[in-house]
Structure 1
């Protein structure tokens, strides 16, 4: 009879979740940066600052240098260390709580747990989200309007000093909405696509199955969540000291009137190409952390 699988303590699940997110963002940060830049393009006018994602990438490399694709990377790491650590840690903890006599939660309950975890992650991770959005979009501003944050902690300190500590949680409501939508859509679409792929008998459990299911789930999640993400991005990039509008409703109507309905899906390609690989990579790293703990831990 096989020995029971070693149980991983809850604190380690939080730690491994954040670590997996940090490892994944090493690869997808440039895509996130381009998504953010495209969402901010045409702000307030009906125009296309960049025709395609490739056009934007060439523009950044040519005008700012190759390393500019990693602008705001410290904020990206901080975002994973806060939001992802909380989200995955809370979800796995709740999953264990609601697993009774070996019976795991059903799909609807999993979606609900994911939404709760997303809300918790939003509350903890919004300050990092604000700094990340500002740092990744700073170079698209005229030189005299750039904030020029040195790193994420410099950004946090200056935001508190110049705009007040409440600005750390600017856009909290749309951030929570975005994370609820992402977690709900991602979990349900991943589960369903994985089941359908297995029924074709061309797939079996493994990295290929997880990759394909994650890319499908990423597409569904992107279509549903990108409009919320764009509004959140616009809110968090505004500075109250410059008279910026921070009420989501006028921002939504403003985008619709001045930029058109399709503006809500600006940056779709890098957004989708970020969510899919990020999901795959984060879970691969997470499983490796779990495997290493079970192999080397003496607990």
Structure 2
């Protein structure tokens, strides 16, 4: 995915691709988790309850207002709520999503005997790798979502009380069994499939355009440019699905009831209007923008180091055989 030479890409084995994706995303999450907490709360702010179907009074007026109130009332540390499961999500979901993107592309091209790197293959590969990642990491996303919304100062329509990630998953398992740990995965799937297909495709295409047409070096300048453009497209496409996903993961049927992704879309629009589907857009961009840029920059660097190491090992091996 991240090089222009097929022969170079083929040198990365699948497990190396997955491991580099996990490490890159984990490095980025320490920065991106703070706006993720703000985004989660803003998307739950004003959510309608099942009692009367009307939306609740909003507690945050803007992204800056949410940031200011959280820090003032709960301390700066509160912005890193859910960091533990967030790290786990990056290791599992983005490791699989980023790591399997290129192997899936190769499989599709080999199966269809296509040598072209067309957009449809990239979109399909991004969607499949994203789906695999979100299913595997869904229990951790459930815990992250609920822990970030948990506060004595912020009151979501559906509130939960957990000590930590382990306590959260243990209580959900006791109440709803193993299947309960995957509550919300049907909402997470379209969110990540749309985001993954958009992000990976636009990054690849934009980077190629920058190198070929803007004469940017295939290094930090091209990676930064491609990451920035990719994040704009990704946030715009995924935000409505992200709002629905956040609300379904938070819901347990006590105060909010959503029978499906479509039902959540409908109830959200009916109670709060179409604009509600873009709640938290800026917070999501402040989270996903830097996360996308940092992830791809780290990923390019890590994979470059792996390839250099492998090339060095091969050179040593050939030298020893020739002696």
Relative to the length of structure 2, the TM-score reads: 0.82
What residue in structure 2 maps to residue 122 of structure 1? 134
The answer as to 2:102 corresponding to 1:92 is: yes
What residue in structure 1 maps to residue 149 of structure 2? 137
Secondary structure of the structure 2 residue equivalent to 1:169: coil
* Deviation per residue, 1:91-128 (Å, 9 max, x gap): 12223434669946322211111111111112111111
How many Å separate the matches in 2 of 1:165 and 1:238?
Answer: 17
Could you list the runs of 5+ residues in structure 2 that have no partner in the other structure? 1-6, 49-54, 315-323
What residue in structure 2 maps to residue 33 of structure 1? 37
Q: RMSD of aligned C-alpha atoms? A: 2.5
What residue in structure 2 maps to residue 148 of structure 1? 162
* Deviation per residue, 1:227-280 (Å, 9 max, x gap): 11111111110114x264132333222211211110100000011122222112
What residue in structure 2 maps to residue 232 of structure 1? 245
What residue in structure 1 maps to residue 195 of structure 2? 182
How many Å separate the matches in 1 of 2:210 and 2:304?
Answer: 26
Change (3 A) 1:146 1:127: closer
Could you list the runs of 5+ residues in structure 1 that have no partner in the other structure? none
Change (3 A) 1:162 1:141: farther
Q: Which runs of 4+ in 1 moved over 6 A?
A: none
What residue in structure 1 maps to residue 284 of structure 2? 271
Across the two proteins, how many residue pairs are aligned to each other? 293
What residue in structure 2 maps to residue 113 of structure 1? 125
- Which of 219, 226, 244 does residue 232 from structure 2 map onto? 219
Q: How does 1:36-115 map to 2 (within 5 A)?
A: 36-44=40-48, 45=55, 47-98=57-108, 103=115, 105-115=117-127
Secondary structure of the structure 2 residue equivalent to 1:48: coil
Aligned-pair CA distance for 1:200: 6.0
How many Å separate the matches in 2 of 1:205 and 1:229?
Answer: 32
What residue in structure 2 maps to residue 15 of structure 1? 19
Q: How does 1:238-277 map to 2 (within 5 A)?
A: 238-240=251-253, 242=254, 244-247=256-259, 248-277=261-290
Q: How does 1:274-285 map to 2 (within 5 A)?
A: 274-285=287-298
- Which of 184, 209, 218 does residue 171 from structure 1 map onto? 184
Aligned-pair CA distance for 1:46: 6.0
Secondary structure of the structure 2 residue equivalent to 1:90: helix
